Each structure stands twice: as structure tokens, then as C-alpha cells.
Amino acid sequence: MIPLSWYLIFAALLFCVGLFGVMARRNAVAVLMSIELMLNAVNVNLLAFWRYLYPDVQAQIFVVIVLAAAAAEAVIGLALIISVYRRRKTVFADDLTLLKG
Amino acid sequence: MDILVWFIPLPPLLAFFAIVLYSNPRKALSHSIAIGGALLSWLMGMIVFIAAITRPDLRAHPIGSVINWLPVANGWFQIGVRIDPLSAVVLFFVVWTVLGIFLYSVGYQNFGQPAGEHDHPGLPPEGAAIRVRKGLTHHVMSIEPLYSRFFALISLFAFAMLLLVVSDNLLTLYIGWEIMGFCSYALIGFWYGKKSARDAAIKAFLTTRVGDMFLFIGLIALYVQTGSLSYAGSLESSAALAKLAAPAGFLGLTWAGLIGILIFIGVVGKSAQFPLHVWLPDAMEGPTPVSAMIHAATMVSAGVYLAIRIFPLVTLGWQQGAPITAAMTVMAAIGTFTALFAASIAVTQNDIKRVLAYSTISQLGFMIAALGVGAYVAAVFHLMTHAFFKGLLFLGSGSVIHGMEHGAMHAQGDQPAEGHPTGEHVDPQDMFNMGGLKDRMPITFWTFLAGGMALSGLPLVTAGFWSKDEILAGAFNGNHLLIFIVLAISALLTAFYTMRQITLTFLGQPRTEAARHAQENTRTMTIPLIVLAVFAVAAGWVGIPRSFPGLGAISSNPLESFVGTMIPAWLEGHADVAGSSIPLLTSLLVSLLGLYVGYMVYRKVDAGAEDPLRRPLGAWYAWAQNRYGIDALYHTLFVRPAVWLSEVFTYQILDKKIIDGILEGIARGTLGLGSLMRRFIDVALVNRAGDLTGSGVRGLGGEMRKAQTGKVQQYMLLAVLLTVLVGAVLFFILVRA
Amino acid sequence: MQSATPFLSLILFIPTVAALLLLFVPSNERGVIKWGAFIASLLPLALTILMWMQFSPNAVTGRFQFEEIAYWYPAIGASYHLGIDGISLTMIFLTTLLVPLGILASFSLTERVKGFMILFLLLETGMLGVFMALDLMLFFVFWEAGLVPMYFLISQWGGKNRNYASLKFILYTMGGSLGLLLAIQMIGVTTKSYDYLQWLGNWRTLDAVARPLFGLPVSTVKSIAFWAFVVAFAVKVPIWPFHTWLPDAHTEAPTAGSMILAGVMLKLGAYGFLRLVLPLFPVQSKEYAPALAVLATLAIILGALGAFGQDDFKRLVAYSSINHMGFVVLGIAAAAAAAGTDNALLAMNGAVLQMFNHGLYAAGMFFLVGVIYDRAHTRDLNAFGGLWRLLPIYGTVLMFMSMASLGLPGLNGFVSEFLVVRGAWPVFIAATTISMIGVFFTGAYTLKALWKVLQGPLNVHWVGHLTEMTTRELVVVAPLMALILVIGIWPAWILDVINKTVMTLF
């Protein structure tokens, strides 16, 4: 059987990819997708822990909640991006500097 | 009876309030209230008087009672009323003269006459024009605009005097005394719109106040020494007198002497003795009934009354025949000097009222001198007779003036309706404008003559002779030869100026149109004259000495046996000294001589002529006429320095310059210190430190601001880096350490 | 004696409550504000009269009556402690009497009525508090609370020179009260209490019991406190030479302000002497009484001379206050020097009665000055003349009031002056005798005012410009005149209350 650590390493890598995407990609849609990646990395972790450490049904609830949250987040995120695009005609993160002090 | 005494002063007081608060606009009601009040007082006074003279041994059992008035420490200060022989006599003449003056005032203030169209409150009425025929008017006297106020004030005046008389203690006496001072102020300045009247009022008030201050201290000292201010407790009890006999440690006087002199200075002010006499002649500015009030019934009599009251103080330690005490010496000296001094001024005055004013001062000097030589009964006697004849003379002179004013208006005849009255303006008070009034004003003449004769001491018939004779006898029998001679000369002058006055006023030919048209006055004015004239003559008969040749045999001298009981115990035991006949002959001689010379000098004075005495007396005449320059002297000596002291020294220099200067100096110093501190501490240090903090923070913020780019991804990167950093640090510190 | 009705608190705070209520009335509702303030100030007067009737002058046990105690500031030992004796009662009566009259006198005010009335009512609370407080912290709080409204009354509604005058007033009196606060604090810390009755109770044993303060022995603390008290109260009375704030403040204050200032505020200083200095420091008081008597004599003489030297009617009356308060101080000095004798009792009776009397006629005089100023818009005595003809009623009232202030027997001033002089003369013969010079000049300046205003040739400039006193103005002076006359003729009703208290004090 594949040991737990493999899953964890995989999830960490996936998370890092997502993190990189969030920080490095300039396109807001890509950033959103990277966030999805990070969330799913967490899901992988959760599933792995469930399978190896707490094999009962309640632990799976977390995954479902995360999936639901990710879905909601994607919906709101995309809606925001479209709204931004309509106003500013761009989805490049570097152009969106309204918070500049 | 004891209760009745309490009520004697009240009716005039109630009349005062009633007039002030209620009946002021109604003139007839006002004088009715005032006269009603005076009448009630008169009635009660007479009942009490009769009770007093019929009560055996009134001295030991006076009529009166006391009540608690003022809580002092552990007890009460009691006030009360008391009628003893002295106050009975004074009460008698006060109620009579007051009633007469009240009645007289109705006519004098022109009740029933129209109001003058040019009259104003505060100025003497100038007369009214009435239309007689078409286009022609006739000038008549007009009613006093402040008629009601006049009656209110003289009612208050009468109240104060009656209060003073019925008091059984010096405090309520003092209260009456001071209220009288106020009334005289208000009445002398009754025509307040006249500058001279205003000044005279102030002069009267302030001059008497000088005396009052001493009197006040004297009362306090007496109260402190004896623990009482009632006559019985402080002046008549042997315990009190024993305490008063102790030396005061001041000029070698005993307490009695010191207090006596202090109180006597009050008398000097009130009774217008030298050197505080200056107010009284000026007091003639008031309406004539007021002059009569002041000179006869109230003010000046009150002064002498007090002097008689304190007789036990001034004579304490003196025996009949022994040298007189210090206090008595003071009284004798001042009284004698004043008698001569004032008489000599009276000789030179032309104003009919002023002559009488100086005459009053002079006669009061006689009384004071009498007290000074220990002639107690003589002083009381002269006080009483003087009140009657001087009241009469003043009312008579008022009648003359009134008649003259009437004559002056009448002399103008009928005038066109427009315009002011024209024609000569005569001073209705100048005797040189009169003459021959005997025929025009017969009642006034005969009564004035009675008063004048009494004043000059016409032998045997008049009251003034008997009382003045007693004073001279007192001075002579006491071996005070100087006093005797001076008083005799004064009496001579008195007779002289009295005859001068009568001759100039009533005898000879009229010297002006006004005198020619003068007219006898209404009955309200003449009746009081007649009543007082009776007293001016008859009041002397109660005091004819038993030793007098002839008449003495039928005289029981009731006054002596009545008032004589008031003489302090240590002076009793001397009978009516059957002394020599020298004083009697002297008074006979001076009176007749004075009258004769007066008549001879003045019987033929033509209109416009000057005083026949002016040339022979020369500079002295002018000096005396100018009151020996004393008023001017006082002005430079006291009035100006006082004004300088208050306006310049106290206010400008002391308060404004010195005290406020110091204060403002402190304020300025503090202000300077403050601005120094601001410049060198606040601005230099504190503010700079504050500013540095502020600008530093601001600069730092500006630098840090640059980190905030607005790029979310950079924040994220920073956050991750920091997380890693913190994680690493924690890891190394917590786990590895 | 605990009273069923909290009279004192009611009297004390009704004006405050009324002032707070007035805050909610719109400023343009002048009628409501004026009448509201007037009616609100009548309530304390009514209560005071009720209280007077229930007051028992003979009470020997528990010298203070109508006592009230409540927690206030237990940490430092201060409590809300009120109580009165005969002296405070007369002063409270004076205050509650003069405040409604002052408000009524201010009905002619047209600008910023609301603020004026509110300040006036607050002022009343401040002054009453001083007379009622039996706790020294409370005493001080009210002492200061009275100053502030007065400052604003002068500086906002005053005359031309009001800024100078109000600043001088507040700085001077504040300067005095600094020492007062210091003294109260020092003794408070030493005794661990601010309660007046406790101070009195353990005052003598304090030297032995209390520990030194900042290394100062207790006796030194006491001496410092003595001088601090004396200076604070001397400024307030004012005793010569601390008096120069008074003419300025009085002259510039609005009419009602002057009435209260002269009528009540000056009494606070004298009251302080009676309540704090003499009972607490009998030895020192006795030692320095001659100096105080000399200052009092100077106040009497120089106050009178100062008044005589004025051409400003109001300033003349202001100086007369110095002159009259000099008698209060003379009485206090005599009482201090001769404590325990009948002289002291008489002098003290006279002093307290003089405080009350002066309150009456000084307020009356200032009011009358205000009446003429309202019409003529000048106070220059030389600008008047012969006005009696135009204003007969006013002239008579002024004459009456002047005579009361001159000390005419039969009116109130005489009784108190007589008592003071009677009490002081045996103690300070020279000072009292010399002060008679001042009494003479009292007559002089009083007559000067009368002759310049009422008498003499009429200044025709005023014909048609001056109107007679209105009914409202007569209502203001009538109670004063009535009391002046009643006390002059029958002083026993009030003097009895004072006398019995004074006898328990000394």
C-alpha cells in the first residue's frame, strides 16, 4: 500500500503549484484557478488523513464542505472578475491597484 | 397712664406714614391728618402733664414703663418711656408749640389758594395769576406744590421730638435726636431745587453730625461704664455714678467728666453753639414754620434738653460754692462766649429771620452757661420760656414775610394776562424793606411785640425777664463774675437788636410798596400767634423767685419746687439764695437800656438808607455781618482738605496708584514671567519636542507608505515570506532550543 | 437633629434644577424664562421662611439644625454634610430673599436672557452651599462654584470696562481661594476628615494625636492654615487693602449682579471668619485681632473717603460697601480679642446683624443706581441734578435707602452699628473712636449722592427723558424697605436668633 507520506508530499507539491500560481500569474482568472488548486491540495490531505487515520464517515464531511466552499468561491470570484473586466477592461492583477496607499 | 405715655409720639408717626403712603395727592386730607395727629399728641400730652404735676413726688415715682427691645448677650436692652418733672415741662411746651406750628403751616403754605402755573416741586411758590377782568390778571399767592410732603415731614419731626422727650433712656433719645436731624435736613432743604437751600440742608446735617459722632461715642462710653443707658440706671443710680467717678486716664478727667464733655459736644452741634453754630443761620432757607420747629419746639431745645439730662454727669463731684468741674467749665465757657458772640452778629443782620436765628444761638448760650454754673432750674426755665417766645417770634416773622409777599404781589396791581409779573422785586425778608407794618398787620404786631419783649426781658411782665434774671442770678451768686458780666452785655445786645427789629419792621413809615400793601394773614396763622403770645408772657409767672421783692410774696415758685427735685442729691440743700439785688437790677437795667437805645437809633430810618450803625462801627460791622468769616474759614480748613483727602489722596493716590499699582505690578510681573517661560521653555523645548515627534512619525509614515503598492499579489508574497520567516524562527527557537 | 423634610437640600438645589430646566426652554421665550426663573427662586425663599419658623433658637444640644449627611467621597473622608445655625440661617434668608429680587430687577434685560437667568440661579446654589456646608470640601466646592457664574455675569453683561473688572475679580478671589484650598487640604489630610464638626471636636487634641505632615509639626500646619484662611476671607470681605477689586467689579457688574455681589458675596468672607477662623483659631485670632481692628478702621475711614471722592454713582455705592463691611470686620476683631466677654457677644451680634443689614440696603442702593442708569444711561453724578422734581417716588425711595445706609436710627443700619461700636469700643478704644471719622464721612458721601442726583437746580436735559419707577421696580424695593424699617424698629426677632447662636459659639 502506498504510504501516507506520499499523498502528503503530493498534496504539498500541488499546494505549492497553486501558491506559485496565485503569486506569479498576472491574469486574475489564473489566480482564481490557482486558488482552486490550493484548496484541492487541502482536500487531498483531508482524504488521505481520513483514509489512514480516522476511517469513519464524519471526516469526509470536511471535504464536502471544502468543495462547497470552493464552488461558492469560484462563483463569486468569477463574478467579481467579470465585473472588474466590465469596468476596467482588464483582468491583469497588476493593474488593479486601488488599495495603493 | 403709663401706657398713655407710649402713645404720645405715635400719632404724628402714623400721620407721616398715612400721608406718604396714602393721602399724598389730597392736600386737605393731608393737613387734616397731620393736625389731627398733632392734636391727639397734644391731648395725650396734656393729660399726662396734668397727671404729672398732680402726682406727689413725681421725681421718685415717674410715670412710665419699660419693655425689652434688644437682646444683648445674656439679657435685654430695655427701652421705655418716662415722664419726670423735667420731661413733663419739656413735653408741655413741645406739644403746645408743635400744635401751633402745624396749624400755622396751613395758612403759611397758602392752603386754599390756586396752584401757580410757574410753580414747581422743590421751589418756593411764585404766585398764581387769576383773571379779574377780561385780559387782566391779578397775582395772588399760590399753594405750595409739595404741600402734603411738608405736613408729612413736620409730622415726622414732631414724632422724633416727642419720642426724645418721653424716652427714659439715652438710646431712644438718640434715635429721636437723629431722626430729627434727618427731618431738619429734609425740611431745611425742602425747596431742594434751590441751590442755597440744598447747601444749607447739607451743612446742617453734616455740622450736627460732627457733634453726633462725639455724642455717640459718649453714649457708648457711658453704656460701657455703667452697663445701662437708661436715665435711672446710668445717670441717677449711685452705683453707676460711683463707677463714673473713677478717673478716665485722659486729660485728668473722670469718666463722668469725659463722657459729659463728649455728650456735650453733641449738644454743641444740635443746639448750634460755637464752634458748630454755622448751620443754624443757614437753616433759615427752609419754610418759616420749619424754622420755628427747629428753633423753638424741637431741634435746639432737644440739645439743651440733653444737656440738662446729663447734668449729673457734668456736676459729679461738684459742691455748691466749690470751683466748677472741668466739664462745667467747658459748658460755661462755650455758653457764655456763644451768647455774646451770636448776639453781636445778630445786631448786624438785616434779614428778619437771620436776626432771630442768631438770637436763638445766643439764648441757647445763656442756657448752656446756666448749666455750666450749676443753675439747673434757671436753664430749664429759660428753655421753656424761650421755646414759647422764640416760636412766637418765628411764626410772627413768617407772618410778616407772608404779608410782605402778599403786599409785593398786590402792589403790582392788575396786569395784562400775558407775561410774567413785572415791577420791583423786593426781598420780603429784609427788614430795611419793611416799616410801618404795625397798622397793616396789627395782630402780628402785637404778638410779635409780646415775643420781642419776652426775648429782651422786659421787666416784670414777660417770661423772658424772669428766666433770664434767674440765669444772671445763678452766675452772680456762684461768684462767676466774668460770666455774669458777659451775659449781662449779651442781654443788653439782645434787647437792642430786638428793639431794632421791631422798630425797623413795624414802626415808622413803610419803606417799600410791598410794605405799604402788606396784609394781615388768615386766622390759621394768627390764632397760633395769639396762643403763643399768651404763653410768652405768662409762662414766666410760674418761676418768680420767692425772694423777689413784692411779687415774691405771692409767688410759690411752682417751677422751682417741681423741677428742682431733679437736681442731683449732692447739690441739694441750697435754698433759693436770698442773694444780692445786683443781678436783678442788672437785668432790669440792661433790658430797658437796650430797648431804649434800639428804639432811638432805628426809629427814623428812611427808605434806601443804610444801617445807622454801619458807619460808627466801621470794619467791625462788616466783619460781624460776615459772621466773623467763620464759614469761609471752615471751608478752607475742613471742607477743602476733606475733598482733597477723599478725591485725590484716598481714591487717586492710595487706591488707584499705590494699591492697584502694586496689584497691576504683580499682574504685569506674572505676565512677563509667563511670556518668558513661553519663549524659552514652551516654545524652545516643549513645542520643539512635540513638533519633532510629530514630524518624525509623519516622515516614517511617508517612507512606509511606499511599501503599500496596492498589488495584492505582492502583499501575498510578503505574507508568505513572513510566515516562513516566523515559522523558521519559531522552529529554531522553540523546537531546537 | 435630623429633620423630616430635607429643607437644606431642597433650598440648595431647587435653583440648580430650575437652571437645568431652563436650558430646555428656547432662548426666544423670554417671558417664560424670566417668570420661570423668578418663580423658581421664590420657592427657596418660601422654604427658608418655613424653615425659620421651625428653627428653634434655644436648641442647646446639637448646635446645628436641619442636618443632612450623605456619602459623597468616602475615600478622602468628605461627605455631603449640611446644617445650619442662627448665623447661617440669617445669611440663607438674605440670599434667598435677594435672588428673586435680583431676578425681578433683571426683567428689563433684553439680550441673552436665558444665559443670564441660568447663571443667576447657579450662583444662588453656590452661595447657599457655602452657608450650609458643614464639610470643608463641600464648602470649598460651593465657594468656587459661586465665583464662576459671577465672573460670567460681569464679563458678559457688564459695563464698558467689564473685561478688566471681571478678570480682576476672578483672579483676585481665586488667588485668595488657592490658599483656602491648600489650608483645607492640609488640615483634611492631618485629621483624615473634612467634617467641620469633627474638626471642631478634635481640634485641640490634634497637636498630640496627629502625625506631622511632610515633616511639618501640626502646630505649623495650623498656623499656615490660619493665614491662608485669613487671606482668602480678607479678599472676599474685602478688608483694606485687599479691596480694590470691589469697586471695579461692582461698578461693571449688571444691576442684579451688583445686588448679589454686595448683598451676599461679600458676606461669604465675613462668614468664613465667623465659621472657620474664630472657632478654630481662637489663640491666633486673639493675637492678631488688633491688626485686624486697625485694618477695619482703615476700611471704615478710607472706604468712606473713597466713596466721597467719586463722581460715578455706582462706584460711590461700591466704596460704601467697603466702609460698611469695615464695621463687620471691626466687630469680628473685637469678638476675637475679647472672646468670652459680653463685649465679644455684642460685637459679634452687631457684626452678624450688620452683614444682614448691609445686604439689604446695599442691594437696594445698587438697584436704585441701576434704575436711574437704565433711564439715563449714565452714572455720572455731575450729569444729574434736581431729579426729585421729575421722579418724586424714586427720589423718596432713594432718600429712604440712603438714610438706611447712613445708619439713621430707626432704620436697620443703626442697630447693628450701635452693637458693633458698643462691643468694640471697650476693646479697641482708639480704633473705634477714630473710626467715627469714617461714620462722619458716611454721612458726607450719602448726602453727596443725594445732592448731586435729587437736589439742586434741575438739569433740564432730563425733562421728558426720565420716567418714574415702574410697579415692578417698586416691588423689588418694597420688601427691602419693609425689612429695613422693621429691623430698625423691632430688631429682636432676628437678633434673638443671632444672639443665641453667638452665645453658643463664644
Would you place residue C128 in the very low, low, confident or very high pLDDT band (cuts 50, 70, 90)? very high
Angstrom distance (rounded) from CA B604 to CA B597: 13
| % of chain C exceeding 70 in pLDDT | 96
Cβ atoms C252, C165 nearer than 8 A: yes
Cα–Cα distances in angstroms (integers) from residue C1 to residues C8, C133, C201, C500, in the given order: 13, 16, 17, 17
Contact call for A and C: 3+ CB–CB distances under 8 Å: no
Among B residues 45-84, those touching chain C with beta carbons less than 8 Å apart: 68-74
Q: Nearest CA to CA, how far is A1 from chain B (Å)? A: 32
Angstrom distance (rounded) from CA A78 to CA A84: 10
What value, to the nearest 5°, has the Cα angle with vertex B498 and ends B493 and B501?
125
Predicted local confidence at residue A28, as pLDDT: 87
Cβ atoms C398, C369 nearer than 8 A: no
Per-residue pLDDT, averaged over C467-484, amounts to: 90
Per-residue pLDDT, averaged over C311-337, amounts to: 90
Predicted local confidence at residue C1, as pLDDT: 44
Predicted local confidence at residue B377, as pLDDT: 84
> Please, where are the H alpha helices in C377-489?
392-406, 412-424, 429-453, 471-489
Q: Which residue of chain B is at minimal alpha-carbon distance from A95?
A: B711
> Are C309 and B650 inside 8 Å of each other by CB?
yes
Of the listed ranges B260-269, C1-10, C347-356, the one predicted with least confidence: C1-10
> Are C444 and B642 inside 8 Å of each other by CB?
yes
> Are B72 and C399 inside 8 Å of each other by CB?
no
Q: Which of A15, A19, A94, A95 to mutate to test the interface with B (most CBs of B within 10 A)?
A: A94
Of the listed ranges A18-27, B291-300, C91-100, the one predicted with least confidence: B291-300
Which cell is B303 given?
440739645
At residue B249, the 3 state secondary structure works out as strand
> Are C455 and B171 inside 8 Å of each other by CB?
no
Angstrom distance (rounded) from CA B603 to CA B598: 8
Residues in chain B with CB shorter than 8 Å from the CB of A31 are: 713
> Are A98 and B710 inside 8 Å of each other by CB?
yes
Query: In terms of Cα–Cα distance, which of C95, C103, C98 is closest to C129?
Result: C95
> Are C492 and B69 inside 8 Å of each other by CB?
yes
Cβ atoms C78, C72 nearer than 8 A: yes
Cβ atoms B533, B444 nearer than 8 A: no
> Are C308 and B646 inside 8 Å of each other by CB?
yes
> Are C454 and B643 inside 8 Å of each other by CB?
no
What value, to the nearest 5°, has the Cα angle with vertex B239 and ends B236 and B245?
85
Angstrom distance (rounded) from CA C153 to CA C109: 12
Cα–Cα distances in angstroms (integers) from residue B240 to residues B1, B313, B566, in the given order: 29, 10, 17
Angstrom distance (rounded) from CA C355 to CA C350: 8
> Are B73 and C491 inside 8 Å of each other by CB?
no
DSSP for B337-364 reads HHHHHHHHHHTT--BHHHHHHHHHHHHH
> Are B709 and A22 inside 8 Å of each other by CB?
no
Cβ neighbors of A52 (< 8 A, separation 6 or more) are A4
Nearest-CB residue to A100 (from B708, B713, B720): B708
Nearest-CB residue to A101 (from B705, B712, B716): B705
Q: What is the Cα gyration radius of chain A?
A: 17
Nearest-CB residue to A93 (from B705, B712, B720): B712
Would you place residue C279 in the very low, low, confident or very high pLDDT band (cuts 50, 70, 90)? confident
pTM of the model: 0.84
> Are C422 and B223 inside 8 Å of each other by CB?
yes
Is 0.95 exceeded by the ipTM? no
Chains touching chain B through at least 3 C-beta pairs below 8 angstroms are A, C
Residues in chain C with CB shorter than 8 Å from the CB of B209 are: 440, 443
Angstrom distance (rounded) from CA B168 to CA B504: 45
Nearest-CB residue to B650 (from C306, C342, C439): C306
Per-residue pLDDT, averaged over C63-75, amounts to: 83
Q: Which of C418, C429, C439, C458 to mutate to test the interface with B (most CBs of B within 10 A)?
A: C418
Query: In terms of Cα–Cα distance, which of C153, C299, C149, C190 is closest to C235?
Result: C299
B112 φ/ψ sector (left φ>0, alpha ψ -120 to 50, else beta): left
Give the N- to C-terminal CA distance of chain C in Å, as an integer: 21
Predicted local confidence at residue A9, as pLDDT: 93
Angstrom distance (rounded) from CA A40 to CA A67: 8
Predicted local confidence at residue C213, as pLDDT: 67
Residues facing residue B254 across a β-bridge: B247
Q: What is the Cα gyration radius of chain B?
A: 38
Angstrom distance (rounded) from CA B502 to CA B490: 18
Amino acid occupying residue A25: R
Strands B136-140 and B247-250: unpaired
Of the listed ranges A64-68, B334-338, B508-512, C316-320, the one predicted with least confidence: B508-512
Higher-confidence residue of C357 and B432: namely C357
Query: In terms of Cα–Cα distance, which of C21, C24, C41 is closest to C107?
Result: C41
DSSP percent split of chain C into helix, strand, coil, nearest 5: 75, 5, 20
Q: Which residue of chain C is at minimal alpha-carbon distance from B262?
A: C433
> Are A100 and B709 inside 8 Å of each other by CB?
yes
Cα–Cα distances in angstroms (integers) from residue B594 to residues B493, B598, C153, in the given order: 6, 6, 73
DSSP for B196-228 reads HHHHHHHHHHHHHHHHHHHHHHHHHHHHHHHS-
Ranges in chain B, pLDDT < 50: 419, 422, 575-576
> How many other β-carbons are positioned within 10 Å of the β-carbon of residue B470?
28
Would you place residue C208 in the very low, low, confident or very high pLDDT band (cuts 50, 70, 90)? low
Q: Which of C312, C320, C343, C447 to mutate to test the interface with B (most CBs of B within 10 A)?
A: C447
Q: Cell numbers 506631622 correspond to what residue?
A: C212
Angstrom distance (rounded) from CA B357 to CA B348: 12
